[in-house]
Amino acid sequence: MHEALLYESLEQGRVKCNICTWRCQINPGKAGACGMYLNQAGRLYSLNYALPSSIAADPVEKKPLNHFYPGSKVFSMGSWGCNFSCRDCQNWQISTEVGCGIPGSVQKVPPEDAVRMAVNIGAEGIAWTYNEPTVWFEYTLDTARLAKEKGLYAVYVTNGFITPEALDLIGPYLDAWRVDVKGFSDGFYQKWCGIKNWQSILLSAERALKHWGMHVEIITNIVPGMNDDDAQLKGIANWIKEKLGELTPWHVTRFHPCDQMSGVGATPLETLERAVRIGSEAGLKFIYIGNVAGSGHENTYCYNCGRLIVSRQGYRTEIGKLIDGHCGYCGVNLNIRTKKGSV
């Protein structure tokens, strides 16, 4: 076990975890809401340090990140546990079903090995994904530091339910913050994800962008009857425009039945098109439809001159006239982060 970095000692051997917004107060011998932080004799330990559940070489568009090093390969790692209990979790086998139990056959991958593997496969960066990265916070922090030394980018694919102090600790080492904004109401987050204080997710995204200069993209998986109403979609779109800026990409993705929601139908294409219209009316320049093969909303077009800049078919990406994140035809900023001097 690896001692946690952010916790307080309380009376009677209890501890308070300060990594995510739950700020769990944990009795001796018990774990927090995520199942991955254990109070042992008044000290808090991470149970999954360097214990991945999943490792893969992915296109960065799979995260999805459309405006961050497009076409690059990213070394992707997931672990165990989650601090949410989403009813439609696609990776429930490694998150909500795990609790404190981690299979004994899991191979340990220390931070230096993870970075070495990323370099060896020709990846340009590392992403912590598949489950919530804050539930193995110390490992992601140690690995991100080493990745930065090797010139690799670092990505959090996150639900955003992180404390300001944890974000500030890892902030200097992260380059992209791909965050789920799953809905825009108390009722939705309590019923769907089992959490309160969801507005902290918005504040974390704003802090990642404005204080730490991370590239930020937002994703909303639209579930029929849950978060597909105009009020929530307009709330998300307007928040993105006002707080993150009109050039921030918004991914609206199709829900497919899984986990506890296997009886609910997939999101109608008309609903996704309506979300695109809502985003456009709010002033957003880049809205993408995901989980729909052959969608006309996969590509990146210059909002000023209308030229095709990045074409995508599935995870096949072709980059057109793009110069340092700007349109190569008319010169406007497209908020696409690339290597300096790249074309």
Q: Mind listing the pLDDT tens digit for each residue in 232-256?
A: 999 999 999 999 999 999 999 999 8
Q: Looking at residue 91, what is its pLDDT?
A: 80
For range 52-75, the mean pLDDT:
97
| Cα separation, 6 vs 158, whole angstroms | 19
DSSP three-state, residue 173: helix
% of the chain exceeding 90 in pLDDT: 87
Q: Angle at the Cα of 277 (from 276 to 280), degrees rounded to 5? A: 85
List, for residues 12-21, the tens digit of each pLDDT value.
Answer: 999 999 999 9
CATH number of this structure's domain 54-296: 3.20.20.70
Phi, psi of 126 (to 5 degrees): -125, 140
β-pair type (125-128, 73-78): parallel
CA 270 – CA 219 distance, rounded (Å): 18
Assign 143 to helix, strand or coil. Answer: helix
- Delimit the domains of the chain by residue range: 2-46, 54-296, 299-343
Cβ neighbour number for residue 149 with a 10 Å cutoff:
10
Report yes or no: 17 and 37 within 8 Å, Cβ to Cβ.
Answer: yes
Which of 105-109, 195-199, 283-287 is predicted with the least confidence, judged by mean pLDDT?
A: 105-109
User: What pLDDT shows up at residue 341?
Assistant: 45
Q: Over the Cα atoms of the chain, what is R_g?
A: 20
Question: What is the value of pTM for the model shown?
Answer: 0.96
Q: How confident is the model at residue 89 (pLDDT cuts 50, 70, 90)?
A: confident
